[in-house]
């Protein structure tokens, strides 16, 4: 009999890549999706299996991390060998607008998962992965950040995740549960949510190059992030649950890059060279040259500007992870570097907006998207 996994947040970026990985390893995968007024399974539709088939390998259950009775029922029905708790209100800036909800879903939601396993007497059987984050480090205490670097969270999201981190450690120590934190640094992909900075940049760059958008507005261009590819990072999640003893691991590339540089690299993928001028809220980027006949913009055109509405009340300025432990103990190493990541994201967004351009050129109106 293959193993059974239960994934919360299966409809998100990581949920989609993890489902693909676990199905390829012969797992029966169960996922929790939220009821929504529109379909919200775009990222996993290619993996969908008709529930009327005999023994489907992918099964979705309606649920929510704010509803313990629902979680207990699903865990009871599925009897999973592994739970990957990826569900969360995961946007740092939005957590300042919805702090209580974020605490409930991201903090207490983790407790609800742990309690469901405990109440149902599954502590010996079910291993739990908790999606912890480099946002826990927050205000820089030391770099590079490792498993022993002190935490100093800087947003309601990070504070909620701090609770999730420690309650996972506590249940491991108190009840002997196999429960682990993966402290993952930023990871991106063509499936990344459209309002996180990397995807916002690759989408905006593609649209500007194709003449579908005039300008890209961003916030703090100086922030530094350790960016990896989500496909590599879900491998680490899986490995964390396959060890002899349950432990917490930092998953990172060890390389950090400024937001400004990510913008430059994205434009470079279209053959457009840009330069930044000015400082702070006055900083802008202009076209210097266009070396691709497909994407021609006037030299000197302003393509990026800063909008302070994207600044955060408290910011995390510098993240750079030390992946020594995961390299050595898990044998984990990322296959992608930043250049490969940017290339893949740009290729995907250029293809996406090629269709939109065709529609526009044929006279159809294009709907606005809000970011």
Q: Which residues are catalytic?
A: 133, 135, 157
Nearby residues of 207 by Cβ (< 8 Å), 6 or more positions away: 213, 353, 356
Among 4, 5, 6, 8, indicate the residue that binds ligand NDP (CB under 6 A). Answer: 8
- 214 contact partners, CB below 8 Å, separation of at least 6: 208
CB of 285 to ligand NDP, least distance (A): 24
Interaction of residue 14 with ligand NDP, rule CB under 6 A: yes
Cis amide linkage into residue 366, ω under 30° from 0: no
Provide the minimum distance between the beta carbon of 72 and ligand GDR in the complex, in angstroms, as a whole number: 26
CA-CA distances (angstroms) from residue 190 to 2, 131, 200, 348?
A: 30, 20, 11, 6
Can residue 160 be called a binding residue for ligand NDP (CB under 6 A)?
no
**Interface region with ligand NDP, contact rule CB under 6 A, candidates 54-62, 87-95, 307-315, 341-349:** 87-95
The region of 28-36, 110-118, 143-151, 300-308 touching ligand NDP under the rule CB under 6 A is 28-36
Query: What phi and psi values does residue 69 have, to the nearest 5 degrees?
Result: -65, -40
Q: Nearest-CA neighbor of 248 among 183, 299, 322?
A: 183
Site membership for ligand GDR, residue 134 (CB under 6 A): yes
The least CB distance from residue 244 to ligand GDR, in Å, is 28
- Residue 188 is given by DSSP the state E
Burial of 245 (0-12, 13-18, 19+ CB in 10 A): exposed
Label the pairing between strands 249-251 and 216-218: unpaired
Q: Pick the stretch among 36-44, 145-153, 171-179, 216-224 that binds ligand GDR (CB under 6 A).
A: 216-224
318 binds ligand GDR (CB under 6 A): no
In angstroms, give the least distance from the CB of 54 to ligand GDR: 38
Q: Which of 6, 9, 224, 234 binds ligand NDP (CB under 6 A)?
A: 9
* Binding window for ligand GDR (CB under 6 A); candidates: 23-31, 43-51, 86-94, 143-151: 86-94
Distance of alpha carbon 33 from alpha carbon 12, whole angstroms: 10
Residues contacting ligand GDR: total by CB under 6 A: 22
Q: How far is the CB of 48 from ligand GDR (least distance, A)?
A: 25
Contact between 304 and ligand GDR by CB under 6 A: the answer reads no
Kindly report the backbone phi and psi dihedral angles of residue 30, in degrees, each rounded to the nearest multiple of 5, phi listed first. -110, 140
* Binder of ligand NDP out of 5, 6, 13, 248 (CB under 6 A): 13
């Amino acid at each position: 009999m293959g193993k059974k996994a239960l994934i919360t947040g299966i409809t998100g970026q990581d949920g989609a890549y993890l489902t693909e990985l676990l199905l390829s390893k012969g797992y029966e995968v169960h996922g929790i999706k939220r009821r929504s007024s529109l379909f919200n399974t775009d990222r996993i539709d290619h993996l969908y299996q008709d529930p009327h088939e005999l023994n489907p390998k992918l099964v979705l259950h309606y649920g929510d991390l704010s509803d313990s009775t629902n979680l207990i029922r699903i865990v009871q029905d599925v009897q999973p060998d592994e739970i990957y708790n990826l569900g969360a209100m995961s946007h740092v800036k939005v957590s300042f607008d919805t702090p209580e909800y974020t605490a409930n879903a991201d903090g207490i939601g983790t407790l609800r998962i742990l309690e469901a396993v405990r109440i149902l007497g599954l502590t010996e059987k079910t291993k739990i992965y908790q999606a912890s984050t480099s946002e826990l480090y927050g205000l820089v205490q030391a770099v590079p950040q490792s498993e022993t670097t002190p935490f100093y969270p800087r947003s309601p999201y990070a504070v909620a995740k701090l609770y999730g981190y420690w309650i996972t450690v506590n249940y491991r120590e108190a009840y002997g549960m196999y429960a682990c934190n993966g402290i993952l640094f930023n990871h991106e992909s063509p499936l990344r949510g459209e309002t996180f900075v990397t995807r916002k940049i690759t989408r905006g760059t593609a649209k500007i190059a194709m003449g579908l958008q005039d300008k890209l507005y961003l916030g703090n261009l100086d922030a530094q992030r350790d960016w990896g590819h989500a496909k590599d990072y879900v491998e680490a999640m899986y490995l964390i649950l396959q060890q002899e003893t349950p432990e917490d691991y930092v998953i990172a590339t060890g390389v950090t890059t400024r937001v400004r540089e990510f913008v430059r690299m994205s434009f470079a993928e279209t053959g457009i060279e840009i330069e930044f001028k000015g400082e702070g809220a006055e900083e802008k980027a202009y076209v210097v040259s266009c070396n691709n006949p497909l994407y021609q913009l006037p030299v000197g055109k302003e393509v990026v500007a800063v909008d302070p509405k994207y600044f955060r009340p408290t910011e995390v300025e510098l993240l750079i992870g030390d992946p020594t432990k995961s390299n050595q103990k898990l044998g984990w190493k990322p296959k992608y570097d930043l250049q490969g990541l940017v290339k893949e994201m740009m290729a995907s967004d250029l293809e996406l907006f090629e269709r939109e351009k065709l529609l526009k050129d044929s006279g159809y109106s294009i709907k606005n998207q809000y970011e």
